[in-house]
Amino acid sequence: MEAKPETEKKEKNWEPKILAFLCRWCSYAGADLTGSSRISYPANVRILRVPCSGRVNPLFILKTLRSGMDGILVSGCHPGDCHYTAGNYNARRKFAILSRLLEYVGIDSRRVQFSWVSASEGDKFAKVVSAVVADVKALGPNELFQLPDFGQMTKGPASPDP
């Protein structure tokens, strides 16, 4: 069990895992439209519905990166279209700072991406996801953190023989 993620990542036909935070009012409906319009897009994306892009705490993004997801997409309503009037404006400020900080500590900006997708932009959603997947594929797997081997840590030093 221990080495499984490693071998999985080294395989030639490795496929990236992308977590997408989609706003409930625009991007989630947009993704729904992509499906109902039968537009195909890469299956690498796992969708997490959030009430608003403003709900996406920078901590979510950091935690997702730390847990080994290869890429992140945060998507919300276009400026001016927010269901809560200003949620996406507030989010935009946070993301601007966060994405610059991530870049500064050495995380490629292609790993954490942001987009505006409205409920009527099913085709745009497919395009955005394809672009993100292509970017992350070019970057390779997220090997930023070696997850601690908890099995070994709980074992501790070998106990002396009684």
Partner 1 sequence: MSEIIPEVSKDGLLDLGKKLFDERRVDYFLGYKKGTVRFKTTPLIAGKGEDLQELWVEDFCHANLSLYLKEIKGRVGILAKGCDSRSLVSLIKEGQIKREDLYIVGIPCAGQVDPGKAAKAASCEPEEMEEISRRGQEFVIRANGQEKILSKTQVLLDKCLCCQYPRPVIFDSLLKGDYVAPVLPAARAQDDLRKKSVSEKWAFWSGQFERCIRCYACRNTCPACFCPRCIVEENMPQWVSPLPAGGDNFVFHLMRLMHVSGTCISCGECQRVCPMEIPLMKLNEKMTDDLRELFDFVAGVDLEKVLPFRTYRQEDPQDFIR
Residues that bind partner 1 (CB under 8 A): 58-59, 62-63, 65-66, 79-80, 86, 89-90, 92-109, 113-116, 128, 131, 144-148, 153
- 42-74 exposure pattern, b = at least 16 Cβ within 10 A, e = fewer: bebbebeebebbbbbeeebbbebbeebbbbbbb
Nearer Cβ to partner 1 (34/160)? 34
CB of residue 13 vs partner 1: minimum separation in angstroms?
Answer: 25
CB of 105 to partner 1, least distance (A): 4
Distances (CA, A) of 38 to 35, 122, 128, 129: 5, 10, 16, 15
The distance of closest approach from Cβ of residue 91 to partner 1 in the complex, given in angstroms and rounded to an integer, is 9
Q: Which CB sits closer to partner 1, 24 or 110?
A: 110
- State the nearest-atom distance from the C-beta of 42 to partner 1, in Å: 15
Distance CA(71)–CA(66), nearest Å, equals: 11
Which of residues 1 and 153 has its CB atom nearest to partner 1 in the complex?
153
Least gap, CB of 133 to partner 1 (angstroms) = 13
CB-nearer residue toward partner 1: 109 or 120: 109
Any idea which residue has 């109902």 for tokens? 36
Instruction: Report the helix count and the strand count for the chain, using DSSP H and E.
Output: 6, 4
Of 35 and 79, which CB lies nearer to partner 1 in the complex structure?
79
Do 77 and 26 form a contact (C-beta atoms < 8 A)?
Answer: yes
